[in-house]
Amino acid sequence: MSEENKVMEYDEDDSLEFIKEHLPEDLKEGLSDDDIDYVVDLIYEYYDEKGFLEDDDDSDIEIDEDELYEYVLKVVREDDSTALTDDQVEAIITGELDYCDSINFFD
C-alpha cells in the first residue's frame, strides 16, 4: 500500500487541532473546543444513524454531504444552548470532512 493511500487511525485530538488550524480567521472568534467537539459529535451521530460506523459492513460508504450539513445545521438551530452561526457550523463540518480525507478514514 502506498504511503498516500495508507489509512491512519482516527484521533479526536488531531481532528480538533486540524479543524482549528483550517477554520477561517473570521469564524474562529467565540468558538471553543467544546463547540467544535459538539458539532463533530453531531456528525458522528448522523453517521451512526445511517449505519456508517458498523464494523461488519465492508461496502463503500457514500456520504451525502448536503444531507449531512442539513442534519447538523437543523440540530444546532434547534439547540437553544448554543450560539453557533451557520457559517461556523459549516466550517467545522468541512474541517472534519477534510480531516477524514487527510487520513483516508472512509477508504
Query: Model confidence over 22-70: pLDDT tens digits?
Result: 999 999 988 999 999 999 999 999 999 988 877 665 567 788 999 999 9
Torsion of CA 94, 96, 100, 105, to 10 degrees: -120
Contacts of 96 (CB under 8 A, 6+ apart): 15, 19, 39, 40, 43
Q: Which residues of 57-95 are buried (b: 16+ CB within 10 A; e: fewer)?
A: eeeeeeeeeeebbebbbebbeeeeebebeeebbbbbbbb
Which range of residues forms the domain containing residue 85?
32-107
Calpha distance 13→19 (Å, rounded): 10
In a domain, 24, yes or no: no
pLDDT band at 2, cuts 50/70/90?
Answer: very low
Structural domains of the chain, count: 1
Q: Is 35 left (phi over 0), alpha (psi -120 to 50) or beta?
A: alpha
Query: Rounded distance, CA 91 to CA 86, Å?
Result: 9
Does residue 81 lie within any of the structural domains? yes
pLDDT score of 7 more than 60: no
Residue 7 cell numbers, joined: 489509512
Task: Please indicate, yes or no, if residue 63 is contained in any of the structural domains.
Answer: yes
Residue 106's pLDDT is 72
Q: What is the pTM of this model?
A: 0.86
Question: Would you say residue 23 lies in a domain?
Answer: no
Instruction: Give the contacts of 51 (CB within 8 A, at least 6 positions apart).
Output: 57
Is residue 26 domain-resident?
Answer: no
- In the prediction, which pLDDT does 102 show? 93
Is residue 20 a part of any domain in this protein?
A: no
